[in-house]
A and B are shown apart, each in its own frame.
Chain A
Amino acid sequence: MDTQVTKKKLGLKERYKLLTRDLGWETTFHSREEVFPYVHYEGIKIHDWDKWEDPFRLTMDAYWKYQAEKERKFYAIIDAHAQNNGHLNLTDAHYLTAIKIFLQAITPGEYCAHKGFARVGREFGGVGTQVACQMQSLDEVRHAQTQIHAMSNYNKFYQGFHAFSDQRDRIWYTSVARSFFDDALSSGPFEFMIAIGFSFEYVLTNLLFVPFMSGAAYNGDMATVTFGFSAQSDEARHMTLGLECIKFMLEQDPANLPIVQKWIDKWFWRGLRILALVGTMMDYMLPKRVMSWKEAFDIYGIENGGALFNDLARYGVRAPKGWGDAAAAIDHMSHQLMLGLYQWSFGTAFHGWIPSDDEMEWLSAKYPDSFDKYYRPRWEHIKKLAAAGTPFKNYGLAKLCQTCQLPCVFTEPGDPTLICHREIDYKGEKYHFCSDGCKEIFENEPEKYIQAWLPMPQLFQEPLKGDLGAWMNYVSLVDGQDNGDFDGSQDQINFDKWRGMATSNK
């Protein structure tokens, strides 16, 4: 009788090879150009797709195993959070303003990233790239789902969570993120990789997620902390994919450098504009603060970003063009946008409020060069108007930037007392911008941005024709519930009542 030989188990490298090999056939029925029609038109030259190294070499079975494990943990904690009324452990209900903005503006971006990676995974010509993009696509849809599920617990008790996808599409302050992803999704595959894989996942993600997750932890929001942890190991993989991709492009052909550099300049600036929302959250919305936006930018932007661009210097890449303008504006950007979010809070699906005396003390300590000189007098005046029974509402809608779509709240470089006015004429039409960075992006591809769907001008066109009430229905905003001042809101009243019931005998 023959001894039965146990079949040798395949190593990781072999399994990865088997996983990818079958995708990498030579096409015979159609030419390669017909099968991969989008890899050339952006001007990026690739000579050898096999030079693409996937540092993770993750196989599909391993991928499912890891992700399923994380899902089990995640949903166990989310269930416990719901069953134990975890929402009453928050420092205060006005913390939820930050979460609402995240759900309306950022979570849908995860879904867009899912769609984008699914598409570029098909469009790229190399097997390693295809597989890595496919996995990232699956990660991104998982992130969108876990975020929506985590935050759905709050929707049972608080206003402003019920129509996040309508608000993503239609309301005004989310359009900075919507237009960022629309822009990336309508780019070619290589530009998409620089936009999302490199700029968003590598350069900006620490500025977005680290402050956001720390803010959640500091303020007792276990639901958000949990989805943060669940996404963290994926993010490490995404950062590596982004960096690998940029190195691959730069190593394949020296002619790729100027194209890549232009994209880095563009997507850094577009990303910075999204981060303006994060700045307001860190400086104004968290009841218990983690660090100021300026401190976060110093650590994750200046230090880490600086190191990254030093590392890339050997390929001839320099730091993004807007880097200096960004650093110079850091004392001002969160304050300028927050003043806007407050004065237009009749049109936001979250609550606004005037910073308390304590909060203003914190702001002057964190921003010694700007807060007391420029921003405190405005808040004091707004406080006076509220005390007099005539709270300040700016019913003048705002001029939006044609590129980033934020209201033009930012000031001239070097003069925080004057709004930055930039405009150009293109084919007989006027276009306005919040900054030189946004203007330059438009000038590079005007035919793309003249199509921008700007929420404020749209309000005056068909079918709304300037009717603010009809607009509120259109953006699924319930007037008197979702919007306006936090003081006196249902969120405030209910949270105080429920917490009182949970912690006393009343």
Chain B
Amino acid sequence: MAVIALKEYSAVPRDLVANFNGKQLVYASWDHHLLFAAPFLFCVPPQMTFSEWVAGPLTQLIAADPDAKAVDWSSVQWLKANQPWTPNFAGSLAENGVVHKDQIRFRTPGLNSLLTVN
């Protein structure tokens, strides 16, 4: 049963994409870069291109890490929903299949100034 209740019980999710005024949530985290305590939350329009998102909000937020300037976005390894993934930088988030509340991760092997990777 989806919930223990006296009778049939169903509910409406609180964070449906329709509540975000045309935008959607995207989560992103930089693996092994834990100066940032948790994955970032972005509220962005699905029409935004992947490269706009990377060059804009993402680059801005990771700037405090000493490795940030050395990131070569063309060789970054990407994951979406914890699966390896290759984004199309020219395409929009929607065209890239980045849905509401998708978790994007990226890896930059060799860059680990603040954290010794086991």
Residues of A within 8 A of B (CB): 37-38, 41-43, 187-188, 191, 336-337, 339-340, 343-344, 373-374, 377-378, 381-382, 385, 392, 394-399, 407-409, 411, 415, 417-419, 421, 423, 427, 429-432, 445-448, 450-454, 456-458, 460-462, 465-466
CB within 8 Å for A409 and B38 given contacts A374-B115, A378-B114: yes
B21-42 vs A: 1/0 string, CB under 8 Å?
1010101010110111111111
A337 and B13 alpha carbons, distance in the complex (Å): 27
Q: Of B35, B43, B82, B114, which contacts A460 at CB under 8 A? A: B43
A454 and B15 alpha carbons, distance in the complex (Å): 8
Point out which of A337, A415, A448, A454 has the most chain B C-beta atoms below 10 A from its C-beta: A448
Question: Which B residues touch A454, using CB under 8 A?
Answer: 14-15
A423 and B81 alpha carbons, distance in the complex (Å): 7
Instruction: Flag whether B61 is at the interface (Cβ < 8 A).
Output: yes
Q: Could you list 9 A-B pairs, sorted by A, with CB under 8 Å? A: A38-B6, A43-B4, A344-B37, A378-B35, A394-B37, A399-B27, A418-B31, A419-B34, A460-B43
Q: Of A343, A421, A445, which contacts B103 at CB under 8 A? A: A421
Residues of B within 8 A of A (CB): 2-6, 9-16, 19-21, 23, 25, 27, 29, 31-32, 34-43, 61, 64, 66, 81-82, 99-103, 105, 114-118
Evaluate contact between A397 and B20: CB separation under 8 angstroms.
no
Question: Which A residues touch B13, using CB under 8 A?
Answer: 427, 429, 450-451
Evaluate contact between B61 and A399: CB separation under 8 angstroms.
no
Evaluate contact between B39 and A397: CB separation under 8 angstroms.
no
A169 to chain B minimum Cβ distance, whole angstroms, is: 15
Q: Of B21, B38, B43, B117, which contacts A419 at CB under 8 A? A: B38
A336 and B21 alpha carbons, distance in the complex (Å): 33
Evaluate contact between B101 and A417: CB separation under 8 angstroms.
no
Evaluate contact between A445 and B41: CB separation under 8 angstroms.
no
CB within 8 Å for A450 and B14 given contacts A339-B37, A377-B115, A398-B41: yes
CB within 8 Å for A430 and B99 given contacts A42-B4, A398-B40: yes
Question: Which A residues touch B66, using CB under 8 A?
Answer: 381
A192 to chain B minimum Cβ distance, whole angstroms, is: 12
Shortest Cβ distance from A430 into B: residue: B101
A423 and B101 alpha carbons, distance in the complex (Å): 10
Evaluate contact between B116 and A373: CB separation under 8 angstroms.
yes
CB within 8 Å for A394 and B61 given contacts A41-B6, A429-B16, A462-B19: yes
A428 to chain B minimum Cβ distance, whole angstroms, is: 9
A145 and B11 alpha carbons, distance in the complex (Å): 35
Shortest Cβ distance from B9 into A: residue: A447
Question: Which B residues touch A395, using CB under 8 A?
Answer: 61
Q: Of B21, B39, B105, B118, which contacts A398 at CB under 8 A? A: B39
Shortest Cβ distance from B57 into A: residue: A396
Question: Which B residues touch A458, using CB under 8 A?
Answer: 14
B55 to chain A minimum Cβ distance, whole angstroms, is: 16
15 extra interface residue pairs, beta carbon distance < 8 Å, beyond A373-B116, A447-B9: A38-B6, A337-B37, A343-B37, A374-B116, A377-B115, A392-B35, A399-B29, A399-B38, A417-B32, A418-B31, A423-B103, A427-B13, A453-B14, A454-B15, A457-B41
CB within 8 Å for A432 and B101 given contacts A407-B37, A408-B38, A445-B4: yes
Evaluate contact between B2 and A396: CB separation under 8 angstroms.
no
A344 and B40 alpha carbons, distance in the complex (Å): 12
Question: Which B residues touch A381, using CB under 8 A?
Answer: 35, 66, 114
CB within 8 Å for A394 and B64 given contacts A399-B103, A430-B99: yes
Evaluate contact between A37 and B3: CB separation under 8 angstroms.
no
Question: Which B residues touch A430, using CB under 8 A?
Answer: 81, 99-103
Shortest Cβ distance from B115 into A: residue: A417
A421 and B5 alpha carbons, distance in the complex (Å): 30
B83 to chain A minimum Cβ distance, whole angstroms, is: 11
Shortest Cβ distance from B64 into A: residue: A392
A415 and B116 alpha carbons, distance in the complex (Å): 11
Evaluate contact between A461 and B32: CB separation under 8 angstroms.
no
A461 and B25 alpha carbons, distance in the complex (Å): 11
Question: Which B residues touch A447, using CB under 8 A?
Answer: 2-3, 9-11
Q: Of A418, A429, A456, which contacts B41 at CB under 8 A? A: A456
Q: Of B14, B23, B34, which contacts A378 at CB under 8 A? A: B34
Q: Of A38, A397, A432, A460, which contacts B23 at CB under 8 A? A: A460
A329 and B36 alpha carbons, distance in the complex (Å): 19
